[in-house]
Chains A and B, each alone.
Chain A
Amino acid sequence: MSEDRWIKLAPWIWTIGLFVIWESAVRMFDIEVFILPAPTDIWQAIVKYWSPIWKNSLQTLWTTSLGFLMAVVGGLALGLAIGWSRNIYAGLYPLMIGFNSIPKVAVVPILVIWFGIGTVPAVLTAFLIAFFPIVVNVATGIATIEPEMEDVLRALGAKKLDIMLKVGIPRSMPYFFGSLKVAITLAFVGSVISETVAANSGIGHMMLAAQSQFNVPLVWAGLVALAVLGIAMYAIMALIEQKMTGWAHRSTAK
């Protein structure tokens, strides 16, 4: 086989290898299932509890996607505003740094006071945590316009809006689509945190319930479900990024 094909197969080989080592280690050292279940135990749990896993996965996917979409809209808007005006930048940036440094799990109790337990706090936590990387990336893309380009356009009489539309916004798009990959992963962190603390559905809630019943394989099945969801969403974002801003990759690939 050629080297290229080996490289294409490598992710699968390594993943399968990891599970094989895991399985044999559990069997060899006779590790108790409530310490570390073997992959086959987890698989059995997935088959056995397929219906709740599926339902709760859909719930988590729904809250995450909703929070993520809000983060995309809000992050894009605020990023453009910050990139547009140095005044907004100067005023808002320190606030955002401060806000971003608050662990989002600490916000969940407040959200619960406002909205009760359930879907709303999960959506909002996902939004709050996914929002920041989008803002920073979009603003960076706009703030790093080459000064020569700006001079060329300004000398022609271009208004600020012209420069934003012709240069700033297209230029920030690779940053924006790149940030979506980070943001979607963070959105899962946010929604699952909220589900573990204050929800009655979703993967996070399911895992917490399983834990309290010492159903360890189901806890791990929840982790696998989250990994699958996360990888799938990441892949979708990467695909969107490639489709939308292929020019940015081509220009560095040369």
Chain B
Amino acid sequence: MSCPAPSRHTKPSAEDCVTGFVDLRNVRLSYGGASSATLALEDLTISVAKGEFAAVVGPSGCGKSTLMKLATGLIRPNAGTVEVAGHEVDGPVSIAGMAFQNPSMLPWRTTLKNVMLPLEIVQPHRKRLSRERSRYVSLAESLLELVGLKGFGEKYPWQLSGGMQQRANLCRALIHDPALLMLDEPFGALDAFTREELWQVMRDLHAEKQFTTILVTHDLREAVFLADKVFVMSARPGRIIETKDITFARPRPIDLTYEAGFNDVVHELREHIADARAAA
């Protein structure tokens, strides 16, 4: 590891350590009982630097979603270590925001109230919420505006299209200003045009807020367009078989995705995955 030994005068902290913001080292995870255990991840090592946008791709069933649960502390590894922001994860990390393919908006709440749900859970917002409600409401409204949902706050989720619900879902994941954003195929269920629109929304959100992001996806173009770094996972038990730095200059225009250089990268990743599937 490139983490220097702490000097005797300073306590070790995230700043001293130049390893990643999210670090999974030699992680192993199996599901089920001792006799019928399924090995989901084996000797998996990933490091994502602060502010970096990482994408994880791989054949289906390779444990990508398990990775998300590990990094947010929802499950614990059987072996190896998981560190987020310089601390070993021993329970849910409240600095993370999550968004899944299913927008899972609560139908009895307006979009604005759905977006504000994490504020009712996470400290210190939770205790401030009732006193500073108007400030938080305008925060939520400006976030909705940023994703193109200005004026939709009072609508109920069922009044929004799938793409709009997914935008609101992103807002909900970001409302408490998380240092880490975890996305599990958030655009998977959308049509191609809406998906490209949301890629750009995501690109702009990341450019503005600079949160560390881990995007789990099986869409290689999505991974290459959005990420600084793409991890390719093997078939189960999942390991990282390739790490690819994506060096296209930011801000990236959507037209980039139709250029030859872009397609070369996508192609290269695709071959890695084809190999991983063949090996399985």
Contacts and interface: CB of A to CB of B under 8 A. Distances in A.
Contacts of B93: 155
Interface string A187-228: 000000000000000000000000000000000000000000
A250 interface: yes
Contact of A146 (B104, B173, B182): B104
Contacts of B104: 146, 148-149, 152
Given A248-B107, A251-B158, A154 B100 contact: no
Given A152-B118, A155-B96, 13 more contacts: A148-B102, A149-B106, A153-B121, A155-B93, A155-B94, A156-B92, A156-B118, A157-B122, A166-B106, A166-B121, A247-B108, A251-B157, A254-B159
A221 B121 CA distance: 58
Interface residues of A, number: 22
Q: Is the interface of A mostly helix, strand, loop or mixed?
A: helix
Q: Is the interface of B mostly helix, strand, loop or mixed?
A: loop
B117 A154 contact: no
Interface of A: 146, 148-149, 151-158, 162, 166-167, 170-171, 245, 247-248, 250-251, 254
A121 B172 CA distance: 52
Interface string B56-76: 000000000000010011100
B251 to A, nearest CB: 29
A155 B92 contact: yes
Interface in B105-135: 106-108, 117-118, 120-123
A142 to B, nearest CB: 14
B106 A156 contact: no
Contacts of B220: none
Nearest to A173: B108
Nearest to B157: A251
Contact of A157 (B69, B108, B121): B121
Contacts of B182: 155
Given A157-B92, A157-B122, A254-B158, A152 B100 contact: yes
Contacts of A245: 108
Contacts of A254: 158-159
Most chain A beta-carbon neighbours within 10 Å: one of B122, B123, B176: B122
B106 A167 contact: yes
B118 A247 contact: no
B102 A162 contact: no
17 contacts: A146-B102, A149-B106, A151-B72, A152-B100, A154-B74, A155-B72, A155-B96, A156-B96, A157-B91, A157-B121, A158-B121, A166-B121, A247-B107, A247-B156, A248-B108, A251-B156, A251-B158
B98 A155 contact: yes
Contacts of B73: 155
Contacts of A162: 120-121
